Amino acid sequence: MIRVLNHGNWSLAILLGGVYPFGLSHTLTVGVVSAKGRSSVGIADYENFIQTDAAINPGNSGGPLTDLDGKAVGMNTAIFSQSGGYMGIGFAIPINMAKAIKDQLIQTGSVIRGYLGIIIQDLTPDLAKSFGLEDHKGILVAQVTEDSPADKAGLEQGDVIIEFAGKPVNEVGSFRNLVALKTPGSKEKMTILRDGKRETLSITIGKLPDEGLATTSASHSMDKLGFTVQTLTPDLARRFGIQDEKGVVVTRVAPDSAAAMAGINPGSIIKEVNRKPVNDTDGFKRAIAQTSEKGTVLLLIKDGQYTRYVALRIE
């Protein structure tokens, strides 16, 4: 059984393989759990990282993060660094998430994620006030896809989701992860606020539409372009000093890539792909996927006060 992990708990990072920093293999480092539920790191679409200050360095991904009893609580995955080395912040995938993905891969050979068919956003104090709510707990439904599980369940634009599957809902990242781990076809209860009134809906979880070739093409193209993006959230806006902008923000740029040579940097905002506006990572991936395997993608990029077009070749 995996015990409950709390802030301040001791954590051990065991570094078994990969690239050995400084030529030193089979290293064990010690630290504490400095945060949980990190979902705005910009590494993947579904994030729920454990943050630790146990030293992790490039090439150490895949080793276990354990508690003092030696029980695995996570899988070392990434670091935050401005120098390329350890700066006191490392991230690990929670072991329950890793096990769920492992079980799906063994049973089906692929990862199957739950799906509702909504676009959601964090409920800020200003938005809560605009909707006549006393506090800003919950997340706001910005859009409901027609004929989706959410649409069939009666969810509407402007609803505020406050509970799902018996758990309180407070922010977008954790909610997306919770839905994604649900089995398609299962039924769950969802509590919402509509016009200030509390209602409970029964929703049948759908299967995230088969991204198939589009996802493969998008991932491939993003690898070739040499950068990753994330939907611009309030946390990312604060991190990069961005104000009053829409689009996706560049979170990482590979050295010596086409993107780096074109002057694209972490914090750059991509507003259009091939002359079409993009507002989130899904829209960005779809636009990139429509670019031919060996074509040119036209990006409208904003850095600070200046906007420019950049044409990147996909080799």
Q: Under 8 Å CB-to-CB from 75, ≥6 apart: which residues?
A: 61, 62, 63, 64, 65, 92, 93, 95, 98
Q: What is the pLDDT of residue 1?
A: 38
* C-alpha triplet 286, 293, 299: angle, nearest 5°: 55
Nearest to 80 by CA among 115, 52, 45: 52
The pLDDT of 97-112, averaged and rounded, is 83
Give yes or no on whether 114-207 and 212-313 have one common fold: yes
User: Across the chain, which distance is largest between two alpha carbons, in Å?
Assistant: 61
pLDDT digits (tens, 9 = 90+) for 8-27: 677 777 766 555 556 666 77
192 neighbors 160 (Cβ within 8 angstroms) = yes
| Alpha carbons within 13 A on the beta-carbon side of 39 | 17
Tell me what percent of the residues of the chain surpass a pLDDT of 70.
Answer: 81
Mean pLDDT confidence for 95-121: 85
Q: What is the pLDDT of residues 286-312, one digit of tens each?
A: 888 777 555 778 888 888 777 787 878
For range 198-219, the mean pLDDT: 69
Of 251, 253, 228, 255, the residue nearest 240 (C-alpha):
251
- Indicate whether 161 pLDDT > 80: yes
- Whether 213 shows a pLDDT value over 50: the answer reads no
Buried b (16+ CB within 10 A) or exposed e, 236-250: bbeebebeeeebbbb
Distance of CA 205 to the CA centre of its chain: 20
Tokens at residue 283, please? Answer: 């829209």
What value does the mean pLDDT take over residues 148-173? 91
- Rounded to an integer, the average pLDDT of 193-206 is 93
Report the pLDDT averaged over residues 136-141.
86
Task: For residue 7, name the pLDDT band (cuts at 50, 70, 90).
Answer: low
| pLDDT tier at 93, thresholds 50, 70, 90 | confident
Answer whether residue 168 shows pLDDT above 90.
yes
Instruction: Inform me whether the pLDDT recorded for 201 exceeds 60.
Output: yes
Structure tokens at 281: 């990572």
Among 95, 118, 237, CA closest to 172:
118
CATH of domain 10-107: 2.40.10.10
Angle between helices 281-289 and 212-225 (to 10 degrees): 90
∠278-279-284 over CA atoms, to 5°? 45
Domains of the chain by residue range:
10-107, 114-207, 212-313
Specify the fold of 114-207.
Pdz3 Domain (2.30.42)
pLDDT of residue 36 exceeding 70, the answer is yes
Is 80 exceeded by the pLDDT of residue 214?
no
Structure tokens at 41: 């790191």
Kindly report the backbone phi and psi dihedral angles of residue 267, in degrees, each rounded to the nearest multiple of 5, phi listed first.
Answer: 100, -15
What whole-number percentage of the chain has pLDDT above 90? 14
Confidence of residue 160 (pLDDT cuts 50, 70, 90): very high
Dihedral sign from CA coordinates of 134, 136, 137, 138:
positive
Alpha helices by DSSP H, listed for 42-187, are: 95-108, 125-130, 149-153, 172-180
Higher pLDDT among residues 135 and 223, named by residue: 135
| Amino acid of residue 121 | Q
Return the closest-CA partner of residue 203 out of 148, 145, 122.
148
Q: Which two tokens stand for residue 229?
A: 């993006």
Q: Is the pLDDT at 100 greater than 60, yes or no?
A: yes
Structural fold of domain 212-313? Pdz3 Domain (2.30.42)
pLDDT of residue 219: 44
What pLDDT, on the 0 to 100 scale, is given for residue 218? 44
